[in-house]
Amino acid sequence: MQDLPSGKSVVTDTTTSILDRAAEAAVRATPGTLARRIRGLSDRMVAWIFIAPTIVLLLAINIFPLIWAIQLSFTNYRANRPNEPIKNIGLSNYSRILTDTDTWIAMQATAHFVFWTILLQTLIGFTLAYLIDRKFRGHAFWTTIILVPMMLSPAVVGNFWRFLYEPQIGLFTYIISFFTGIPPTDILMLSSVKLAPWAIIIVDTWMWTPYVMLICLAGLRSIPDYIYEAAEVDRASNWRQFWSITLPMALPFIMLAVLFRGIENFKMFDMVNLLTGGGPGSTTEVASITLKREAFEKWRTGFSSAFAIILFVAVFGLANIYVKVLNRVKSR
Amino acid sequence: MKSTLKMSVGLAAGLLASSAMTSVSQAEDLTLCWAAWDPANALVELSKDFTAQTGIGMKFEFVPWTNYADRFLNELNSKGKLCDLIIGDSQWIGGSAENGHYVKLNDFFDKEGIKMSDFVDATVVGYSQWPKGTPNYWALPAMGDVVGWTYRKDWFSNPELQKEFKEKYGWDLDAPKTFDQLKQVAEFFQNREIDGKKVYGASIYTERGSEGVTMGAMDVLYSYGFKYENPDKPYDMEGFVNSEKSVKGLEFYKSLYDCCTPPGASNSYMGEGVDAFKSGQVAMHMNFAFTWPGLQKDEAVGGEKVGFFANPAGPDGEQFAQLGGQGISVVSYSDKQESALKYIKWFADKDVQAKWWSLGGFSCLKAVVEDPKFPESQPYAKTFLDSMAIVKDFWAEPSYASLLQASQKRFHDYVVAGQGTAKDALDGLVADWTEIYQDDGKM
Amino acid sequence: MSATAHSVVEPSTASKRVAATLVVVYALISMIPLLWIFATSFKTPPDSIAYPPKVLFTPSIEGYCNLFTTRTRQTPEYISSLPPATSFCDETTRKRNMVIAGPSNFLPRFVNSLVIAFGSTFCAVFLGTLAAYGFSRFRVPLADDLLFFILSTRFMPPIAVAIPIYLMYREFGLSDTALGMILLYTAVNVSLAVWLLKGFIDEIPKEYEEAAMIDGYTRLQAFRKVVLPQATTGIAATAIFCLIFAWNEYAFASLLTSGTAQTAPPFIPTIIGEGGQDWPAVAAGTTVFLVPILVFTILLRKQLLRGITFGAVRK
């Protein structure tokens, strides 16, 4: 942008000039004349006046901080030491993060969480959608019931799951022990290194399967009836119809659901933070929890900014590749 | 739908206005920030006298221990005006003094005739001074606290259990004096049926998120011979933090966790400990002294059923205990510093301190705790005094939070998640701490 | 979601029955945690931690009493020296050898949640409607890039966004203020609002406004008198989505507020009793907090799909 001769981008130029003029008008005009002036605005100006506030807000709250974070990521700045000089340390934050084994442990925990939640949610969600698409009586009512968990606050509800997971008095452990015969004091969902990663997967699956279901349902309903009718004429079996019509045609929708869930779970913080806090040890320490510890507990602001940028690039990059694949599937 | 929209807009506007109004009407009230625990509720009760005397209303902001440091260090670092007075943890003093979060109290003390020599020495060093050992005061010692143990006196005095114990271990079942004895007692009770209920040996600190597992492990490590640094060379940690004795101590802590704690106690701190003891699950319970008044008054396990003992000695006879407790400070970002200082002046008064102790707070005023009647005033009073005589504290450096995060991770990974050896954990800790001090330019 | 009748492909009765059974079983199982929250909120603390878990119990509002008060344990002598109890909660508390020390912070936090959620929703929908109309009706240079830019802000993990916001708010004195939180939630929600509302406005035929403008309306009048009324359903649905986000948000709230402007989600997990969490009080707080969302979910059920996919899937 700096290469432009004026030193400013076209966009900002227009925005400022319109804002200036609007401000001028506001200062000078009584309400009546102001209205008359605005009424005479051209479409182009209306467009900019309508869009500019949103862009300005996003620049102020999203882009400006992002640029600040990028700048901080090259320094040793600590937000809890305002009096200390800030040193520029180049790329060493980045190299420290990428060579640190703890980073990769956090990434593995995140990958495990993302992979299994998506797999389970897609399987269960698609199955549910397929069943609901049988359009039995009352399906609309039951669909709404199933949707409820995903509307709730993951933090508030996630916190309550700690109670359900309590080794003896928790309802979840009680039910599991009732069906398996394992003593309820031995089911340590949040304390055992083996079970804790699954504890967070269960809660996430409970909350978000409805989400995948809803999108899959839209996919199934988008398949026109005449395709099935043609298949009937060809005497294709239900099994064939499912594999050659239902699944391929619903695939773009399933992939869209996977994309949204993938991004969300890569960012996962609230539910896991309240349920396990990353423990036991570091077994459920997903990336966002590591980031929070670095940024708001150790106060390594520069270091954590670099970590944030790396995460952002990772999500953004993966999502972009995925969208390309998604588009290819769609166009097929 | 249109009317819904209008309604919600109106509602939002109304709420904005009403919230603005409430904040105006309460502008003169002081807000005191502390942890959410029994002593804080007792302080609410005590502060009613202050409001009655001065007409200054008190508001309180209490946060559970597991979020306490996070929330309030965040608040101080953001230069927030939420707290006028803060009872901040002992280890924050370095950072809060150096970064200007707290008002320096020397002039105020001189003017009002408040003498630090009137307070228990360990609490003045622990809660008020920075740098340590210099007469620079940033807080008034408010709440003395130290890690100690409670045990089920009723179980320990059961003749059948006593007989069985004596046969098995060759000494009389009683409050343990050494950690080896403690382990034997814990093993003895683990998975035993008492009154038709399965019980466990001991509840210890294992919490990961804030400071739990560090406080617990350190409490044991001190008595085993752990030192933070070379006494002759500051910040020289190699061979002190990870000495052979320290390794033994950490191995002991893990073995205690593995053998003798209730199931699922992998993230347990003060609150969970209290719950375990009150529900009759454990024979012994490691916790800060603040929990003792509440347990003493408890209907189910209090009164004659509960006993107290100071942290046991290690294999070489050394005996230390982890210091807890806090001083009360005035936040430098507050607009009401004058009223806040009034509160401190009121709180330092001898009669107020005496009532503080009777309501369940732990006074640090010598006039209260050195009163000849003090040891008999409560069943736990003597254990408290004994424990306060052997305290050690974690680093109080400005980098305290990073230092603590490092030990939390190393200890939890080893003790709870069972990764690596005790030697690995402590070697790793030396490396982490060295790196932090190098970043600080102190090494 | 109006069902077009499958003629040849209408599923058989048997398969319908199987499907219905499976779906109903899933729905009921997924409801258990929520029903348990509701039940726990009406248990006494001892009932809540009984083993085996109690399904049948005598309801009590002690959890709600504890939610709204702070209490301190005192000796029976001290309690008997006090004037007689004035309310049900007072009495219940004293039976447990405690006295009510004062109100808890739940109510102010709940009010904060209302103020911040409604305030940010109003701003986001206001800005979003304008911008969506702009993108929908005019040829905006770089429109696709701008729209993508608006969306891309959602890729950032909230903690990553919070680091610079924290520093910025500290500079401007916006830390722990309702205004700061409203601005932040508006910025997060406006991306959703623009995308959703653009979809809704795209569906309103351009010809309506053009006809109105031929009749002498200006562009702004046409927007106000023709487009807005047509878009009310879309605007209402968008508003509810924004409201739900702001209502449920935890990460920003827990990092950027500490008291004055703290909302309910970071507060509820910190409700503790004398030991660990006071589960009936937590359940009571959770129940009070969830009820508005349940109502909105039912109101919104037809628009849900569109909302959760940023308008990518319309049906």
Mark which residues 275-314 of A lie under 8 Å from B by CB: 276-283, 293, 296-300
The verdict on A242 touching C (C-beta cutoff 8 Å) is: no
Q: Which residue has the higher pLDDT, B37 or C62?
A: C62
Q: Do B264 and A282 make contact, defined as CB atoms within 8 angstroms?
A: no
Contacts of B424 (CB under 8 A, 6+ apart): B414
The nearest CA of chain A is from the CA of C83 a distance in Å of 37
Q: Give chain C positions within 8 Å (CB) of B75.
A: 176, 258-259
Which region, left, alpha or beta, applies to residue B280 given φ > 0 means left and ψ of -120 to 50 means alpha?
Answer: left
Which value does ipTM take for this structure? 0.88
DSSP of B297-354: T-TTT-GGGEEEEEPPB-TTS---EEB--EEEEEBTT-S-HHHHHHHHHHHTSHHHHH
DSSP of C168-181: HHHHHT-TT-HHHH
* Residue A6 burial by Cβ neighbours in a 10 Å radius (0-12, 13-18, 19+): exposed
* Average pLDDT over every residue of C63-77: 86
Q: Give chain B positions within 8 Å (CB) of C99.
A: 45
Is residue B205 within 8 Å of residue B215, measured between CB atoms?
A: yes
> Which one of A167, A168, A298 has the shortest CB-CB distance to B401?
A298
Assigned domain for B196 exists: yes
For the ranges A25-34, B174-183, C36-45, the lowest mean pLDDT is seen at A25-34
Residue of A nearest to C312 (CA): A256
Residue of B nearest to A190 (CA): B264
Regarding whether C224 and C149 lie in a shared domain, the answer is yes
pLDDT at A237: 87
Q: Do C232 and B293 make contact, defined as CB atoms within 8 angstroms?
A: no
Q: What is the CATH number of the domain that holds C233?
A: 1.10.3720.10
Is residue C301 within 8 Å of residue C147, measured between CB atoms?
A: no
Q: Give chain A positions within 8 Å (CB) of B401.
A: 80, 297-299
Regarding whether C70 and C196 lie in a shared domain, the answer is no
Contacts of B376 (CB under 8 A, 6+ apart): none
Is residue A273 within 8 Å of residue A286, measured between CB atoms?
A: no
Assigned domain for C315 exists: no
Residue B190 pLDDT more than 90? yes
Regarding whether B266 and B137 lie in a shared domain, the answer is no
Residue A48 pLDDT more than 50? yes
Token pair of C85 as six digits: 């109890």
pLDDT, tens digit, for every residue of B264-282? 888 899 988 998 998 889 9
Q: Do B264 and A167 make contact, defined as CB atoms within 8 angstroms?
A: yes
pLDDT at B248: 96
Residue of B nearest to C167 (CA): B78
Distances (CA, A) of A221 to A129, A133, A216, A331, C19: 10, 8, 9, 19, 16
Assigned domain for C177 exists: yes
Q: Give chain A positions within 8 Å (CB) of C164.
A: 64-66, 68-69, 72, 305
Q: Do C233 and B299 make contact, defined as CB atoms within 8 angstroms?
A: no
Q: Which residue has the higher pLDDT, C82 or B185?
A: B185
Query: At B128, is the pLDDT very low, low, confident or very high (cuts 50, 70, 90)?
Result: very high
Percent of chain B with pLDDT strictly greater than 70: 94
Token pair of B396 as six digits: 């109080």
- Domain boundary residue among B354, B384, B414? B384
Q: Do C168 and A46 make contact, defined as CB atoms within 8 angstroms?
A: no
Query: At C103, is the pLDDT very low, low, confident or very high (cuts 50, 70, 90)?
Result: confident
A289 CA to centre of own chain: 15
Which of B1, B7, B295, B378 best probes binding to C when mutated, by most C CB atoms within 10 angstroms?
B1
Query: At B16, is the pLDDT very low, low, confident or very high (cuts 50, 70, 90)?
Result: very low
> How many domains, in total, are found in chain B?
2
Q: Give chain A positions within 8 Å (CB) of C254.
A: 155
Q: Do B267 and A280 make contact, defined as CB atoms within 8 angstroms?
A: yes
Q: Which residue has the higher pLDDT, A27 or A204?
A: A204
Regarding whether C114 and C99 lie in a shared domain, the answer is no
Query: At A39, is the pLDDT very low, low, confident or very high (cuts 50, 70, 90)?
Result: low
Token pair of A303 as six digits: 């270091």
Query: At B201, is the pLDDT very low, low, confident or very high (cuts 50, 70, 90)?
Result: very high
Regarding whether C186 and C87 lie in a shared domain, the answer is no
Q: Which residue has the higher pLDDT, C236 or C77?
A: C236
> Which one of C15, C153, C163 has the shortest CB-CB distance to A62?
C153
- Domain boundary residue among C104, C128, C152? C104
Residue B302 pLDDT more than 60? yes
Residue B158 pLDDT more than 50? yes
pLDDT, tens digit, for every residue of C250-260? 999 999 988 88
The residue among C310, C284, C292, C290 whose CA lies nearest residue C40 is C284
pLDDT at B67: 83
DSSP of B154-167: HHHT-HHHHHHHHH
Regarding whether C95 and C153 lie in a shared domain, the answer is no
Regarding whether B342 and B318 lie in a shared domain, the answer is no
Assigned domain for C34 exists: no
Residue C55 pLDDT more than 70? yes
Regarding whether B378 and B408 lie in a shared domain, the answer is no
* Average pLDDT over every residue of A284-290: 93
Residue A194 pLDDT more than 50? yes
The verdict on A85 touching B (C-beta cutoff 8 Å) is: no
pLDDT at A183: 87
H helix or E strand, kind and range, residue A147:
helix A139-151
Residue A7 pLDDT more than 80? no
Regarding whether C86 and C211 lie in a shared domain, the answer is no
Tokens 């009655």 -> residue: B52
For the ranges A26-35, A174-183, C138-147, the lowest mean pLDDT is seen at A26-35
Assigned domain for C9 exists: no
Percent of chain B with pLDDT strictly greater than 90: 69
Regarding whether B308 and B429 lie in a shared domain, the answer is yes
Contacts of B72 (CB under 8 A, 6+ apart): B33, B63, B83, B86, B88, C258
Q: What span, in angstroms and rounded, lies between the C-alpha atoms of A254 and A260?
A: 10
pLDDT at A29: 43
Q: Do B274 and C121 make contact, defined as CB atoms within 8 angstroms?
A: no
The verdict on A5 touching C (C-beta cutoff 8 Å) is: no
For the ranges B106-120, B317-331, C248-262, C300-314, the lowest mean pLDDT is seen at C300-314
Q: Give chain A positions within 8 Å (CB) of B267.
A: 190-191, 276-277, 279-280
Q: Give chain A positions within 8 Å (CB) of B98.
A: 83
For residue B117, the 8-state DSSP code is: G
- Which residues form the domain of C197? 107-308
Token pair of C295 as six digits: 């109502």
Assigned domain for B157 exists: yes
Assigned domain for C291 exists: yes
Query: At C314, is the pLDDT very low, low, confident or very high (cuts 50, 70, 90)?
Result: low
Q: Which residue has the higher pLDDT, A29 or B376?
A: B376
- Domain boundary residue among B342, B358, B384? B384
Is residue C186 within 8 Å of residue A62, measured between CB atoms?
A: no
Residue B4 pLDDT more than 70? no
Percent of chain A with pLDDT strictly greater than 70: 87
What does the domain layout of chain A look like in residue ranges? 10-72, 95-331
Regarding whether C255 and C171 lie in a shared domain, the answer is yes
- Which residues form the domain of B310? 147-322+397-439
DSSP of B81-116: SS-SEEEEEGGGHHHHHHTT-BPP-HHHHHHHT--G
Assigned domain for C12 exists: no
Residue A20 pLDDT more than 50? no
Regarding whether C193 and C118 lie in a shared domain, the answer is yes
Residue B25 pLDDT more than 60? no
H helix or E strand, kind and range, residue B60:
strand B58-63
Residue of A nearest to B414 (CA): A281
Look up the pTM and report it: 0.85
Q: Give chain B positions within 8 Å (CB) of A155.
A: none
Residue C160 pLDDT more than 50? yes
> How many domains, in total, are found in chain C?
2
Regarding whether C100 and C120 lie in a shared domain, the answer is no
Is residue A122 within 8 Å of residue A212, measured between CB atoms?
A: yes
Q: Do C259 and B8 make contact, defined as CB atoms within 8 angstroms?
A: no
Token pair of C100 as six digits: 């009510």
* Average pLDDT over every residue of C68-92: 84
Residue C35 pLDDT more than 70? yes
Regarding whether C136 and C162 lie in a shared domain, the answer is yes
SS3 at position C152: helix
For the ranges A145-149, A206-210, B14-18, the lowest mean pLDDT is seen at B14-18
Regarding whether B358 and B282 lie in a shared domain, the answer is no
Query: At B135, is the pLDDT very low, low, confident or very high (cuts 50, 70, 90)?
Result: very high
The verdict on A41 touching C (C-beta cutoff 8 Å) is: yes
Regarding whether B418 and B309 lie in a shared domain, the answer is yes
- Domain boundary residue among C104, C124, C152? C104
Regarding whether B339 and B221 lie in a shared domain, the answer is no
Looking at this protein, which amino acid is placed at residue A295? A
> Which one of C133, C134, C289 has the shortest CB-CB distance to A156?
C289
Looking at this protein, which amino acid is placed at residue C167? L
Q: Do B12 and C115 make contact, defined as CB atoms within 8 angstroms?
A: yes
pLDDT at B27: 55
For chain C, give the mean pLDDT: 87
Q: Give chain A positions within 8 Å (CB) of B409.
A: 282
The residue among C267, C105, C128, C117 whose CA lies nearest residue C178 is C117
Residue C12 pLDDT more than 90? no
Is residue B404 within 8 Å of residue B211, measured between CB atoms?
A: yes
pLDDT at B18: 42
Residue C1 pLDDT more than 60? no
Query: At C305, is the pLDDT very low, low, confident or very high (cuts 50, 70, 90)?
Result: confident
Q: What is the CATH number of the domain that holds B234?
A: 3.40.190.10
Assigned domain for B92 exists: yes
Which of C94, C272, C298 best probes binding to B when mutated, by most B CB atoms within 10 angstroms?
C272
- Domain boundary residue among C104, C125, C141? C104
* Average pLDDT over every residue of C61-77: 87
pLDDT at A160: 93
Q: Give chain A positions within 8 Å (CB) of C194.
A: 54
* Average pLDDT over every residue of B1-26: 45
pLDDT at C273: 78
Regarding whether C181 and C80 lie in a shared domain, the answer is no
Query: At C4, is the pLDDT very low, low, confident or very high (cuts 50, 70, 90)?
Result: very low
Superfamily holding A95-331: MetI-like (1.10.3720.10)
The nearest CA of chain B is from the CA of C4 a distance in Å of 27
The residue among B215, B217, B180, B219 whose CA lies nearest residue B319 is B219
pLDDT, tens digit, for every residue of B366-403? 999 889 999 998 999 999 999 999 999 999 888 888 89
pLDDT at C78: 81
Regarding whether B45 and B82 lie in a shared domain, the answer is yes
pLDDT at A14: 36
Q: Give chain B positions within 8 Å (CB) of C277.
A: 271
